[in-house]
Chain A
Amino acid sequence: MLEAIILTIITAATPLLLAAIGELVAEKSGVLNLGVEGMMVMGAVAGFAVTVSTGSPLMGVVGGAVAGVLVSLIFAFVTLTLVANQVASGLALTLFGLGLSGLLGESFVGQPGIKLASLDIPGLTTLPVVGKIVFGQDILVYLSFAAVFGVAWFLNRTRAGLILRAVGDNHASAHALGYSVIGVRYLAVMFGGAMAGLGGAYMSIAYTPLWVENMTAGRGWIALALVVFASWMPWRAVIGAYLFGAVTVLQFHAQALGIGFPPQFLSMLPYLATVIVLVAISGNRRATLFNTPSSLGKSFVPDR
C-alpha cells in the first residue's frame, strides 16, 4: 500500500518538476514565460504522436522536448526580439498551444499509446521496500532529478550560470559588461520549452499512455506556482513538486478508500493547494523579494 502511494506520488510529481525546473531557469534569466501550460500540452501531443508513429517511446520523449522548444521560440521572438509584453505573450502561447495541440491531436484521440519502459535491473529492482521506488522508474523520473542537480550546479557553480543570473538581476549592467542579454534569454527560454515539453511528454507517454485534449489540465500553471514556492531554488522545487504530487494522489486514494466526499471537491485539491501555498509564500515578503530576479518580466532593448 505505502509502496503504491509513493509510486503514484512520483508519477504525479515528475511532470510538475520537469516543467518547473525549466521555468526556473527562464525566470532566473529575467523572462517570465506564462506559456508553460501551452508548451507542456504541445510536448504531450508531440510526444504521443511521435511515439505512436515510430513505435518508440524514447523517440516520443525527444519529440516532446523538440515541440516544447519550437513553440517557446515563438514566445522568445515576440517578447525578446520584438519586446512585446511578457505576461500577455505568455497567455497567447498557452491559448495557442492548447488550440494547436487539439488540432494536431484530433486523429490520435482514442488511439492506444505505448508506455515508457521502467528501469529493470536484475537484483536491484527486485530489492524489498526500496527496489521498485529507487531502481524501477522510467528514464524521465531520473532525468528530472538529474535536471535539478544539473541546474543547481549550473546556476551556482559555473561562470555561465553566473552570467545568466546577472542577466536576470540587472540586464543593463550585464549588457554593459558585454554579455548578450537577448542571447542568454533565448537559450533560457528554449531550455524552459524543452523541459516543459518533456513534462508534457511524460503525461502522454508515462502517466497515461493516451492523448486527451487539454490533458495537462493546468499542470503548467501549477509548475509556475512551484517556481514561486521554490523561491527560485532548484532543491525547493523538488519539495514543492512532491508535495503537489502527494495532494494530487490523495484524491485517488481517498476515492479508493470510499471516503464519502464528492469527487469534484477532491479534484479541486491541487488547485486550492496552489492558492494556499502561494498565499503562505507571499506572507514572507522579504525572502521572496530577495530571491526574485530583479529584471523578471522586464523587456530589454540594447542601446547602441
Chain B
Amino acid sequence: MMRLELVKRAEKSRLMSVLSPVVAVALTVVFAGIVFAAQGHNPFTGIWYFFLEPITSLWGVEQLITKATPLVIIALGLSVCYLSNNWNIGAEGQLTFGAIVGSIPPILFPDFVNPLVLPLMLLMAMAGGAMFALIPAKLKTAFGTNEILTSLMLVYCANLFLDWMVRGPWRSPEGYNFPITVDFHEWAVLNAVDVGGIYLNLSAPIALLLVIVLAVVMRSTLKGFEIRVLGQSPRAGSFAGFSTRRMTAFAFALSGALAGLAGVMVVMSEIGKLQPVISPGYGFTAIIVAFLGRLNPVGILIAGLVIASSYLGGEAIQTSLQMSSKLATVIQGVLLFFVLAADTLILYKVRLVTGREGEGAHA
C-alpha cells in the first residue's frame, strides 16, 4: 500500500514560498491540457488558445488589464481580511451595494453635471461597500456570529436589492421597459484614453496605486504588523494592545470599500448604467486571486493578471475550438485547489511511503 506522508520542515521553506504558486499554475496547465485532450483537441493547441493567444494582441492586453483591475482591487482588501483571520467571502455583495450607492449622483441628480461627480461617486461607492461589509463584521464582534455565513447570505440580498432597484424605483422611463437605469452623464463615466495603443481608463492606475500603498503599509507600518500579528496569534496581539474587534471592523470596512470601488468603476467604465447583473462574479473570483497571490499585494497583482487571462481564455476557446467558455471557471477552481495543496510544501516535505515502512513508531 502506498500513501503520502508529511514531514514537518524545521522552518518555512523560502524557496517553496516563491515556487508553490508556480507549481500550482504549472499543474493547472497540465490539467487543462488533459481536459483538451479528453475533448479530442490537441492539448498544446488548447493550451495556446486558452493561456497565450488572448494576450498576443494589443486588444487582448487591454482586455486583460480591464478584467484584472477589479479582481486585483477586491483581492487586496480580501487579503487584509484573510491575513487578520476575518473570513469575508461576501465581496460580491459589497461590490453590488457599493455600486448602487455610488450610482446615486447620476441617477437621482442627473442635472448635477460637474467634474466633482466622478470623485463623489467613487467615495460614495467606497462608503456604501464599507457599510455593507460592516454588517457581518459587527455581528461577529457583538454576538460572535460566523462571518463566513452572514457575509455570503448578504450577497444574495444585495443582488436581489439591485434587481428590485433597476426594475422598480430606478428604472429608466426611456428604457423601453428594460430593467435598466438612465445612462450616466459624461462626468459619471470613466473614459478610456490611448496609452501606447492600449485604451485604458482611470481604474487601472488606481489599482496599481492601491497595490503599492498596501505593499508599503504591510511591509513597513505598524498597521501592517498589527494585521499579521492578530491573524497569527490574537492573544499575542492583545498583549501588544491590539484589539481583535477593531481589526475585524477595519478589515471588513477596508475590503468592503475596495469591493464597492471596484464595483462602481466597472459600472462607470463598462456599462454606463445600472442593470440587474453588473459583475461576472468578480467578488468570488477575487478570493482565488487573493490566495494565488499568497495574500501579498504584489503577488495579487500577478495573480489578478493570471486569473483575468483565464476569462479571456474561456472566450478564446469558445470561438476557436468551439468549447464551452465555462471551462474557465473550472480551471479557476482547480487552480485554487492546486495553490492550497502546493502551499503544503512550504511547511512540510511530502514523502511517498510504500508498504509498512514508516508505521513502526506507533504500530
Contacts and interface: CB of A to CB of B under 8 A. Distances in A.
Interface string B333-351: 1101100110110001010
Nearest to A263: B164
B153 A301 contact: no
18 contacts: A84-B340, A88-B291, A92-B336, A92-B340, A95-B288, A95-B333, A95-B336, A98-B333, A99-B332, A100-B333, A103-B327, A103-B329, A218-B156, A221-B152, A274-B149, A275-B153, A285-B144, A304-B361
A264 B329 contact: no
A81 interface: yes
B330 A272 contact: no
Nearest to A89: B340
B168 A301 contact: no
A96 B340 contact: no
B89 interface: yes
B17 interface: no
A226 to B, nearest CB: 10
Interface of A: 34, 74, 78, 81-85, 87-89, 91-93, 95-100, 102-103, 106, 178, 217-218, 221, 224-225, 228, 262, 264-265, 267-268, 271-272, 274-275, 278-279, 282-283, 285, 288, 301-302, 304
B143 A282 contact: yes
Interface of B: 3-6, 8, 82, 87, 89, 139, 143-146, 148-150, 152-154, 156-157, 160-161, 163-164, 167-168, 284-285, 287-288, 291, 324, 326-334, 336-337, 340-341, 343-344, 348, 350, 358-362
Contacts of B327: 103
Contacts of A272: 153, 157
Given A92-B337, A95-B284, A99-B329, A87 B148 contact: yes
B330 A100 contact: yes
B337 A279 contact: no
A85 B340 contact: yes
B157 A271 contact: yes
Contacts of A283: 143
Nearest to A96: B333
Given A87-B148, A95-B284, A265 B164 contact: yes
B287 A221 contact: no
Contacts of B149: 221, 224-225, 228, 274-275, 278
Given A89-B337, A282-B143, A99 B164 contact: no
Contacts of B340: 78, 82, 84-85, 88-89, 92
Contact of B337 (A78, A103, A285, A288): A78
Nearest to B6: A301
A229 to B, nearest CB: 10
A44 B194 CA distance: 47
Given A78-B340, A278-B146, A301 B156 contact: no
A282 to B, nearest CB: 4
**Chain A interface main SS type:** helix
A56 B344 CA distance: 43
B344 A282 contact: no
Given A218-B152, A264-B163, A274-B153, A98 B329 contact: yes
B336 to A, nearest CB: 4
Contacts of A217: 156
A272 B284 CA distance: 20
**Chain B interface main SS type:** helix
Contacts of B146: 225, 228, 278, 282
A106 to B, nearest CB: 5
Contact of B324 (A92, A106, A271): A106
A267 B159 CA distance: 11
A82 B343 CA distance: 9
Contacts of A92: 288, 333, 336-337, 340
A100 B331 CA distance: 9
A34 B5 CA distance: 25
List 5 A-B pairs, minimum CB-CB distance, nearest first: A96-B333, A99-B329, A264-B164, A84-B340, A92-B336
A217 B361 CA distance: 48
Nearest to B151: A275
A278 B147 CA distance: 10
B337 A96 contact: yes
Contact of A264 (B8, B153, B160): B160
Which of B145, B285, B362 is packed against the most chain A CB atoms within 10 Å? B145
Contacts of A81: 3-4
Contacts of B284: 95
Nearest to B285: A95
Contacts of B139: 275, 278-279
A284 to B, nearest CB: 10
Contacts of B148: 34, 87
A301 B350 CA distance: 12
Nearest to B325: A103
A275 B161 CA distance: 16
A267 B4 CA distance: 47
Given A271-B156, A301-B348, 12 more contacts: A82-B344, A84-B341, A91-B89, A95-B284, A97-B333, A103-B327, A178-B362, A264-B160, A264-B167, A278-B139, A282-B145, A304-B359
Nearest to B156: A271
B87 A221 contact: no
Which of A78, A225, A267, A275 is packed against the most chain B CB atoms within 10 Å? A275
Contacts of A87: 87, 148
Contact of A96 (B5, B87, B334, B350): B334
B329 A271 contact: no
A288 B144 CA distance: 10
Contacts of B337: 74, 78, 89, 92-93, 96
A7 B329 CA distance: 37
